[in-house]
Amino acid sequence: MIKQNLSQKMLQKLSPQQIQVMKLLQIPTATLEQRIKEELEANPALDEGEGNDELFDLDENSLAQTKTEEEAEKTEDPDEFELDDYLTEYLEDDPGTYDLKYDHGEDELNDKNVPFAHEKTFHDFLESQLGLLNLRDPRKTIIAKQIIGSIDDDGYLRREPIAIIDDLLFSENMEVEEHEVEALLKKIQQFDPPGVGTRDLQECLLNQIIQYEKKKSNFIDPFIIAQSKIVIGKYFNEFSKKHYDKLKKYLGLCYDDLKRVMEFILKLNPKPASGYIANELNKSNSIGSNYIVPDFIISNRDGELELSLNSKNAPELRINEQYKGILQGYKERTGKTRISSKDKEAIQFIKQKIDSAKWFIDAIKQRQHTMYQTMYTIMQYQYQYFLSGDDHKLKPMILKDIADITNLDISTISRVANSKFVQTEFGTKRLKSFFSESITTTDGSEVSTLEVKNMLGQIITSEDPRKPYSDEKLRNLLQAKGYNIARRTVAKYREQLHIPVARLRKKL
């Protein structure tokens, strides 16, 4: 039986302005400039350039007189547009110009013109090699480009040929056989960098070994290449699990020869695309798109820390002067003639655009203020670390600690910390890395888990590669240094540091 009930509920909804602030807050400085440019293109009432501090200079008597006349007209026509109310509100709340260089000691960031070089992408590089295949059939060229477009950022083709066939049918209305895709894929797998277009790690390494074999380099022993080909092609499972005793037995090699084979294989590139990126970086002598733009800069001035926001390359924002002039013209006309419906629509459009521009400028201001307030609190909380750079002086710190001090919500602190970087005298650090839980040492004091992870990494680095430490052994070594920690916690920290288990760390 269907029933209708009437009930009251209290709901809390975010305004569009609040949503805009949150979205701006979570993007890093490197993305902020592009976001501002998008807003400048979308909203003609928003402008950039040198600011003009002069606002509308309207006489208060004229404002009052116009208001009286407008009220009289409003009595005659209830639907008349209230321009004066809006202009008065605008004059009182005009943001004027907003300089994105947040005024907190950012004297060293005055040069805004930093050029960025256009870089050829990895897929562009692969497509440029299609000419070497001499594909005279346009059909084959389309198939080859589809294959190249399906190669991922690591250089692997992890899509099945049938999926590529479906894509071609959908996008190009072209029916393709699987053998056509396979034939062109084999040719693409001969492209640079070696190993590109392969389906898995085994095929990738084997492809690179075969290319070494074809080149017949004088710097690599053909015997080592041949044995490496057997290891990857026939005994890949034993190789991946580092069962060196079995490999010695199967191959009939002595210890030294097996070591040379392993050294050669380990020099191969498990991610072919990274080889192209590394070469491009070396050629251009720049870090290009991989360059980390710090959002904050902490400087040590004779033992005193100074914080500044990095707003380099960000334009100044203001309300467009032309739109101000249009409103001024309408303002002067309101006391003389009635506003037509077309004028009303125009004023409403201008009002909407100016409001949007004001909201965006206010959102940028709030973003800068919140970011500075949060980072300043973090700097004060970890003051001794930022003075010395000593990881042992990092205090346990969670999002709630900073939220309680700043009186901001935990989600706001999380948005600030996410994907942001701070430049210090000891390198550029990810802001999120300063947040950590604490563990209790054997003497009862609390230390940051970051300190424990750093110590764990040092212990593993100094271990004998022939006999790497197990997780239980690592736990014992950490406890000997005063860290009260369980074996499963050691395993968790080791995985977070991207360090494999002892068996996979073993070397000849």
Across 153-157, 190-194, 330-334, least confident range: 330-334
pLDDT at position 167: 84
Across 42-56, 64-78, 337-351, 408-422, least confident range: 64-78
Average pLDDT value for the chain: 76
Read off the pLDDT of residues 478-489 as tens digits, 9 standing for 90 and up. 888 888 888 888
CATH 1.10.10.60 domain range(s) in the chain: 437-508
In 3D space, the residue among 299, 292, 296, 298 whose CA is nearest the CA of residue 309 turns out to be 296
98 pLDDT above the threshold of 70: no
pTM: 0.53
pLDDT at position 430: 87
Please state which architecture CATH assigns to domain 437-508.
Answer: Orthogonal Bundle (1.10)
Facing residues of 307 across strands? Answer: 298
In 3D space, the residue among 396, 405, 378, 481 whose CA is nearest the CA of residue 447 turns out to be 396
CB-facing half-sphere around the CA of 79: CA atoms within 13 A = 4
Read off the pLDDT of residues 138-184 as tens digits, 9 standing for 90 and up. 888 888 888 888 888 888 888 888 888 888 888 888 888 888 888 88
The alpha helices in 444-501, defined as continuous H runs, are 449-461, 471-480, 487-496
In the structure, what pLDDT confidence band is assigned to residue 508 with cuts at 50, 70 and 90? Answer: low
DSSP3 helix / strand / coil % (the chain, rounded to 5):
55, 10, 35
Percentage of the chain surpassing pLDDT 90?
3
- 320: Cβ contacts below 8 Å, ≥ 6 apart: 44, 45, 46, 47, 357
Angle at alpha carbon of residue 212, lines to 254 and 220, rounded to 5°: 45
30 pLDDT above the threshold of 80: no
